[in-house]
Structure 1
Amino acid sequence: MMKLRLFLFGLILLICNPVNAGNLSIKPFIKGSFTEIKNQHTNQPFIVVFWSESCSYCMKELAMFGKLYKQFPNVELITVATDSFLDEKTVKDVLRRSQLDVEKTWVFAEQFPERIYADVNKRWRGELPVTHFFSRDHQEIRHMGIINEQELLEWLSEQSSQ
């Protein structure tokens, strides 16, 4: 009877947890990681979202992505936590609360994050949220601040229809 209860409890946890913790890969984001991501996604649309656990606008934006993203599975979403060396449990919790079922995410792993900021964009000083949109033809649009939901829907729809 006890084994059955434990089995059912485990099953409930799996069903209720939208983040597939077993498949989630958390990679260290260091100088050169942004270039690596761009090189891995040629000829396909993708979005890179930079966020912080302490940024309320970031949490709002991640929740918006979680709500809309399932409708556009051919546009990959890549998340990057800018909190240096953020622990795995916190990352998974933020993604779970945002209902983001991503397979991989990144976390800043540099003692001096300013090096990463400059590597991503020479003008970036760490302001959040910041999102980089890459179209199928690899054109980049950088958006500072929270994204307008309607504009996000239009971009996702446009990229999905090509």
Structure 2
Amino acid sequence: MLTSRRLDKTVSLNRPNNLLGPLDYIFLVFAFILARIIMTKMVIINLPLETQYPYLFNQFWKGDDFIKFAEKLKKIFNLKVFWQNSRPEMLNKFGISNLSITWNYLPKNIDLMINTDNLKKNFARSYSTRKELEKISHEFGKQIKIIFPSNNIGRHLAI
């Protein structure tokens, strides 16, 4: 689903709860075209499940190819692209819950947006969420460009 937030000057590509397919590439191109039409400055895309959970799907290359394609479009359209961690309930379709993202498989040359609400759903307590956020920030600090605190735990975080 493509959404545009005119006030934020962003276009978000929220992919369905599926593994990557040809339609995702079409939606990705449309997201960049929409961003240029409404003169936005950035596109936010959920990281592919294949990239976040490589051991689960054994199709890491699909996610990697999708990210590389988007990064090429970023240069062509002269836009900023931020990759957001996905909601863990996206895995429910596959009968899996409470699985943490394998962060060390993410490409080192992409800009990240960490959604703390999506992060929180992997953990029962906000203390664990904060520890995970600290760990991610330490390892990927230069790549993290946006931390989006949710209403649920934002008051517990010192960002």
**What's the TM-score, normalizing by structure 2?**
0.32
Structure showing greater radius of gyration is: 1
Higher relative contact order (CA 8 A, sep 6+): 1
